[in-house]
Amino acid sequence: MKAKSMMKERVEAVIRSGVYPDESELYGEAIRTLFEVKSDLKTIAAVELYKEGEVSIERASEIAGVNVVQFKEILAQKGITRWIGSGEDELKRRTEELKKAKRQTFKKGLIQN
């Protein structure tokens, strides 16, 4: 039996058992566990999101699980130049970041309007 079909078989069995209501919940838990076990993935993701301008340095440090000073050191070690937006640009970017986070939270049903 192929590894892919064995994995699918196991996933379906766990869902049938009732431990998880659906694949989405099971995969979500699997990814959270992966990031906890392989904590370097949190740093990799944070650096990539920061490089792409998706998150602020503060948010990236939270994702990586370190403080801002430590995250700046990580960026320096990787040869990544920190960018500093103008006041207005930075405010717009952070506002959009907050709106995006709120939409994601709302979609997950964690807040109600």
CA distance 59 to 45: 11
Residue 38 has pLDDT above 60, yes or no: yes
Q: What is the pLDDT of residue 85?
A: 57
The structure's pTM equals 0.62
**Tens digit of each residue's pLDDT (9 = 90 or more) over 56-111:** 999 999 999 999 999 999 999 999 887 665 556 667 777 888 888 778 777 666 55
Q: Report domain extents, the chain.
A: 1-37, 39-82, 85-113
Q: What is the pLDDT of residue 71?
A: 95
Q: Report, as an integer, the average pLDDT of 39-64.
A: 94
Residue 33 C-beta-side C-alpha neighbours within 13 Å: 6
Exposure string (b/e) for 6-39, b if CB count within 10 Å is 16 or more? eeeeeeeeeeeeeebeeeeebeeeeeeeebeeee
